[in-house]
C-alpha cells in the first residue's frame, strides 16, 4: 500500500551522497515552505551536516502544511531507488537526451532525482509499470459490431482528452479531478494504468489522547486492458459506476466511437447446467490436469434477493458419493473452480459470474483457462471482429 515513509531520504548518509547541485535543484521549488521549517536552501557548497540533519527531520515529519508536490517527489524518488527501477529510468532518460556525467559515481537516489528533475512524468509512468499487477477480477466489454479498423494510435493529445473526459466525470461525482493514465503495449494487449489522485493523501485525525496526527490514504488505482486477439475491453475499478464511463472514454480513445463497446453477457454458466461434470473436461488442453467444481450459487431473486449456495471440496465427487444428480433450483449466477496445471504444484482458483466478470490469476498460464472457457462455451461472443494490426510503435504510445 503506498504511504509516505521515506526510508532512504530519511537517512542522512543517503542524502549526503546525492550530488549537492542536484539536491538543491530538487528542493528549490519548495524553498518557501522549507524556510518556515527553519531550513534555508543555500548554494550547493553550503550543504553541511547540520543542513542535512535538518532536511531529514523535515522530510520524515511532514505537517498538514507540507506541499503535496514535495511529498509526491520524495515518494517517487523513494519508490524508484532500486537497482532495477533506477536502471530502467536512466536508460529512458538518456535516450530522451538527459545530460548525465558517466564518469562520476551516482547513487540510486541521485540517479532517480536527476531523472525527476529532467522529466517527472517519465518517473511517474515508469512507477506505474514497476507496481503494475493485473487484477484477478476484470469486467469484460465487447464491441457492438465489427468496424473493420485497427485501434487508433494513442498520442499524447488523444490521451490528454481521455484524461480530461474522465477527470470531468469523477469531479462531478465527488471523486476529484486529478487523474493519470499511463499506456503501453505488451504482446497483444494495450494496457493503461489509471491512478486517481496523488500517490497518497494526508488526512488529519485525533488519537486516543486527543492529539492531532496525520494518516495517509492511498490513491485509487484502476486498470484497463484491451485484448487485441479477443477484441475485449477489460476493466477493474473500485467504483462500479465508472465502467460505462470508461467504456465510452476508451471507445473514443481507441476507435473514435464512444459507443464502440457495449454491455453484453460475456460469461454464461449454461454449459455447467447442460453438460454437468463433462463441462469440466479440459479436452485437448494438455497443460490442464484437472478442473474441479467447488461451489455454485443459484439465484432465486424475489424482493429479498434470495440465493442458495451449494459447495464441497469436490462437488461432483460428493454428488456421486451421495448418489445424487446435478439439478439446479434456478439460474446459476456464480461458480468457483479449482484448476490443476501439470507443470505447477499449486492449484489455481477461477470464479465466473454470469454476465461480464471473471476472476483468476492473469499470468502466462491464464491462456489455458481462457482456452478451456472457449472450448466449453462458457464465453459468449457478440460476433464482432475488429481488424488486426494496431500500430505497435513504442514512440507512438504516450508515456504520460
Domain ranges for the chain: 12-119, 137-264+389-396, 270-375
Question: What is the predicted pLDDT for the residue at 46?
Answer: 66
Report CA-CA distances (Å) from 336 to 140, 311, 363.
Answer: 18, 9, 19
Residue 359: strand, helix, or coil? strand
* Buried-state track 203-223, b at ≥16 Cβ within 10 A, e below 16: eeeeeeeeeeeeebeebbbbb
**Residues 284-303: tens digit of each pLDDT:** 999 999 999 999 999 999 99
What angle (nearest 5°) sits at the alpha carbon of residue 341, between those of residues 340 and 346?
65
| Helix/strand/coil for 280 | helix
Q: Confirm if 386 and 231 have CB atoms less than 8 A apart.
A: yes
pLDDT band per the 50, 70, 90 thresholds, residue 393:
very low
pLDDT of the residue at 212: 53
Tens-digit pLDDT profile for residues 238-281: 899 999 999 999 999 999 999 999 888 899 999 999 999 999 99
- Is the pLDDT at 44 greater than 80? The verdict is no
Predicted confidence at residue 388, as pLDDT, reads 35
Is there a contact between 251 and 257 (Cβ–Cβ < 8 Å)? Answer: yes
Q: Which residues pair with 288 in a beta bridge?
A: 341
| pLDDT tens-place string over residues 149-177 | 789 999 999 999 999 999 999 989 877 88
Helix (H) or strand (E) holding 22: helix 20-27
- Grid coordinates representing 28 are 528549490
Residue 263: closest CA among 161, 104, 144:
144
Q: What is the pLDDT of residues 68-96, one digit of tens each?
A: 999 999 999 999 999 999 999 999 999 99
H or E element in which residue 201 lies: strand 189-206
The answer to whether residue 184 scores a pLDDT higher than 80 is yes
Amino acid at each position: 500500500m503506498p504511504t509516505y515513509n521515506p526510508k532512504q531520504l530519511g537517512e542522512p548518509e543517503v542524502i549526503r551522497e546525492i550530488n549537492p547541485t542536484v539536491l538543491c535543484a530538487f528542493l528549490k521549488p519548495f524553498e518557501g515552505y522549507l524556510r518556515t521549517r527553519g531550513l534555508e536552501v543555500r548554494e550547493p557548497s553550503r550543504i553541511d551536516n547540520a543542513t542535512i540533519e535538518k532536511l531529514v527531520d523535515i522530510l520524515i515529519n511532514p505537517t498538514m502544511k507540507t506541499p503535496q508536490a514535495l511529498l509526491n517527489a520524495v515518494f517517487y524518488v523513494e519508490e524508484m531507488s532500486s537497482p532495477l527501477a533506477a536502471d530502467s529510468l536512466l536508460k529512458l532518460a538518456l535516450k530522451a537526451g538527459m545530460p548525465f556525467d558517466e564518469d562520476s559515481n551516482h547513487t540510486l537516489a541521485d540517479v532517480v532525482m536527476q531523472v525527476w528533475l529532467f522529466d517527472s512524468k517519465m518517473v511517474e509512468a515508469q512507477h506505474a509499470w514497476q507496481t503494475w499487477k493485473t487484477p484477478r477480477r476484470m469486467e469484460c466489454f465487447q464491441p457492438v459490431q465489427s468496424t473493420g479498423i485497427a485501434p487508433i494510435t494513442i498520442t499524447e493529445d488523444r490521451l490528454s482528452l481521455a484524461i480530461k473526459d474522465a477527470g470531468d466525470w469523477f469531479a462531478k461525482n465527488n471523486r476529484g479531478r486529478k487523474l493519470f493514465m499511463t499506456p503501453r503495449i505488451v504482446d497483444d494487449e494495450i494496457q493503461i494504468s489509471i491512478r486517481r489522485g496523488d500517490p497518497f493523501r494526508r488526512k488529519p485525525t485525533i488519537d486516543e489522547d486527543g492529539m492531532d496526527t496525520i494518516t495517509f490514504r492511498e490513491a485509487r488505482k484502476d486498470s484497463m486492458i484491451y485484448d487485441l486477439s479477443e477484441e475485449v475491453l477489460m476493466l477493474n475499478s473500485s467504483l462500479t459506476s465508472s465502467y460505462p464511463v470508461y467504456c465510452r472514454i476508451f471507445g473514443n480513445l481507441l476507435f473514435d466511437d464512444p459507443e464502440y463497446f457495449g454491455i453484453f453477457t460475456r460469461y454464461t454458466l449454461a454449459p455447467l447446467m447442460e453438460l454437468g461434470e463433462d463441462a469440466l473436461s479440459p479436452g485437448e488442453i494438455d497443460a490442464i490436469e484437472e478442473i474441479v467444481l467447488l461451489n455454485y450459487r443459484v439465484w432465486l431473486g424475489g424482493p429479498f434477493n434470495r440465493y442458495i449456495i451449494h459447495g464441497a471440496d469436490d462437488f461432483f465427487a460428493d454428488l456421486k458419493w451421495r448418489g445424487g444428480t446435478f439439478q439446479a433450483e434456478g439460474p446459476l449466477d456464480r461458480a468457483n473452480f479449482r484448476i490443476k496445471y501439470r507443470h505447477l504444484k499449486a492449484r489455481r482458483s477461477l470464479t465466473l459470474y454470469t454476465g461480464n466478470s471473471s476472476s483468476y490469476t492473469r499470468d502466462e498460464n491464464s491462456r489455458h483457462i481462457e482456452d478451456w472457457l472457449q472450448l466449453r462455451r462458457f464465453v459468449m461472443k457478440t460476433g464482432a471482429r475488429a481488424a488486426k494490426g494496431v500500430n505497435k510503435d513504442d514512440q507512438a504510445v504516450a508515456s504520460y
